[in-house]
Structure 1
Amino acid sequence: MSLEVVATGLQFPEGPIAMADGSVLLVEIRRQTLSRVSPDGQITVVAHLGGGPNGAAIGPDGRVYVCNNGGLGWVDLDGGLMVPHGAASDYAGGSIQAVDLTTGAVETLYTECDGRPLSAPNDIVFDSHGGFWFTDLGKENETTRDYGALYYARTDGGFISRQRDRISWPNGCGLSPDEKTLYVAETWTCRLWAYDLSAPGVLTPAAAAYLPGRHVLTLPDYLPFDSMAVQANGDVCVATGINGGITVVSPTGQAHHVPVPDFVTTNICFGGADMKDAWITGSSTGTLFKTRWAEPGLKLAFNA
């Protein structure tokens, strides 16, 4: 696979969205912005979001909906590499934000659910009904951590539902082509789970109280999962750390690895006329890559 470097100098890019005009929207977590990368690599700031903007997706109204983890601490490594570590010193909770692409105006939609503050919203996916699923990774410090959770919400700011609680580091999330299955990747357990949906925004009850979902895959080594995108054929493409790259997983758990030259590869998105153009975020190096993918990606419910 040949990788093209589209842009460098990004401040821990994540949440890429392939736009119809050929540009890519993404967040820069360390810079605290929603940014746009043009096809020639020019980087412009769309909005300053504060905290730690993470996963992002276009909603039915054309706005960009952003999971904000509230802010991260940072460690600078040799060679100009950067990695997150713990919470920012000014961390004050997570949120879901919406950004108007025309004006750059930012609206905060949710900071809590049923009186419990959001901890660290991480990744987001819209269904065709206009609602969205999002993961909350949880926060940790030297001695304690918050559990993660899985939520469903609507864009009007008036409905949010915690659908699964006490999950260990839920990160990437994505819907199957028929929207009957929600996939969730756990970071530090290196596991991929599937959740059956009984209705839009409603998970079927767990098979057992001790199971987060239906187990699809656990990687055989310590290779933490990050965010994801789904292919048109239903396979799940999960960004994978340490060995750096994308792990492509079938719904039945078969997997193969596509290497990327960044040990903190965090996300992938698809676009182009045949949905085989793929953009990948190499976050520790601040790089946006582009390549031609073997299979077409699944068209998302909304785009702009």
Structure 2
Amino acid sequence: MSGASIVAEGLRFPEGPTWRADGSVAVAEMQGEAVAAVSPGGDVRVLGDCGGAPNGSVLGAGGELYVANNGGLSAAGRGFWRAPRQLPGCVQRVDVDGTVTTVSADLPGPAPHRPNDLCFGPDGTLYVTDSANWEDLPDVGPGRVVALGADGEVLGALEVPAMPNGLAFGPDGRLYLAQSLTRRVLVVDVEGGVFGTPERLVKLPDGMPDGLCFDAAGRLYVCGSVGHAVFVFAGGELVDTLATGEGTQPTNCCVGGDGRLFVTEALTGRLVAFDLGVDPLPLHAGSVGAPVGSSGRGRELG
């Protein structure tokens, strides 16, 4: 690991970090079947018991979290770990009191659905990647980017082959998307669930692109997963490589309000931080479903 400090250890296959206003970082623990918060001092507490395998998280307009839950699958050495509590892949809402509800309608395309990552667009639409049957790579089917409205209805979908993965909106208002099996990052125009044609932006020099994020200056940070590094791009050019070290498997990242880049390492179970002195790109937010006690259509887990 080069230039990074350890924020927390003992996380259970961490993914999907999200910076929160109190200075904590929410982390999806795939093999913990939960979403947790890591305090600035490194303390870890569970925010929501999700079941399955929470794969990505994003902050909502009211401080709630939204989780892409792939249903109960993660890598484990040369095989796969399967959750004790399997469930259909879905999008979940974790309210501030810890209540977990499912807010997505039936996702388009054939099962199994493997929701992977998610982010809000400028108009409050929630975009979710469905990586499809990645447990069967020789016969993996096309995945999708799915757009969800405020009631969880599907507004539109874009079919993307070769395992769509992490995604984020850039400062130009376009959607940036990791395509893991081609080692590429794609960019596409989208509004309200209506997608344009994806274009190739960059190809990673090593590893497979997983999660990604932007800073306020427009630099793009892409976790190289099995390449054990975070690759930094500006204007479509590689400008830096942040090594995490062999045996780490960086899965996703976010820029915090304290100027640090937070990175989840799946194999070590750590949340680490690179002190880069950069500002975060303000993220879009929205709301899907309804808080507990309202008349919304969310369904409680289990």
Assess same fold via TM > 0.5. Answer: yes
Post-superposition CA distance 1:83-141 (Å, at most 9, x none): 8737658754310000102x111110115235755611111111232211111111144
TM-score (norm 2): 0.85
State percent identity of aligned pairs.
30
From the superposition, tell whether residues 90 and 97 of structure 1 become closer, same or farther in structure 2 (CA, over 3 Å): closer
Alpha-carbon distance, 1:298 to partner: 0.7
Aligned equivalents of 2:55 and 2:70: distance in 1?
A: 7
Post-superposition CA distance 1:15-62 (Å, at most 9, x none): 111112111111100011011111121111111101110110011232
2:66 maps to what in 1? 65
Counterpart of 1:130, as a letter, is G
Matches within 5 A, 1:1-304: 2-76=3-77, 85=80, 91-101=86-96, 103-114=97-108, 117=111, 119-142=113-136, 144-157=139-152, 159-179=153-173, 181-197=174-190, 199-204=191-196, 206=197, 213-221=198-206, 223-261=207-245, 262-272=247-257, 276-293=259-276, 295-302=278-285
Alpha-carbon distance, 1:75 to partner: 2.3
Aligned equivalents of 1:144 and 1:227: distance in 2?
A: 23
Post-superposition CA distance 1:194-239 (Å, at most 9, x none): 1023x343222x2xxxxxx111112244x11110111212221111
Contact preservation (8 Å) 1:87, 1:139: no
Alpha-carbon distance, 1:146 to partner: 3.1
Post-superposition CA distance 1:266-293 (Å, at most 9, x none): 11111225xx222111111000112212
User: Over the residues paired in the alignment, what is the CA RMSD in angstroms?
Assistant: 2.4
Counterpart of 1:196, as a letter, is D
Aligned equivalents of 1:156 and 1:284: distance in 2?
A: 36
Q: How many residues align?
A: 283
Counterpart of 1:267, as a letter, is N
Aligned equivalents of 2:82 and 2:143: distance in 1?
A: 15
Task: After superposing the two structures, state which structure 1 stretch, 10-19 or 228-237, moved more.
Answer: 228-237
TM-score (norm 1): 0.84
Q: What secondary structure sits across from 1:226 in the alignment?
A: coil
Alpha-carbon distance, 1:251 to partner: 3.9
Contact preservation (8 Å) 2:129, 2:165: yes
Q: What secondary structure sits across from 1:34 in the alignment?
A: strand
Counterpart of 2:266, as a letter, is S
Unaligned runs of 5+ in 2: 287-302
From the superposition, tell whether residues 219 and 2 of structure 1 become closer, same or farther in structure 2 (CA, over 3 Å): closer
1:210 maps to what in 2? none
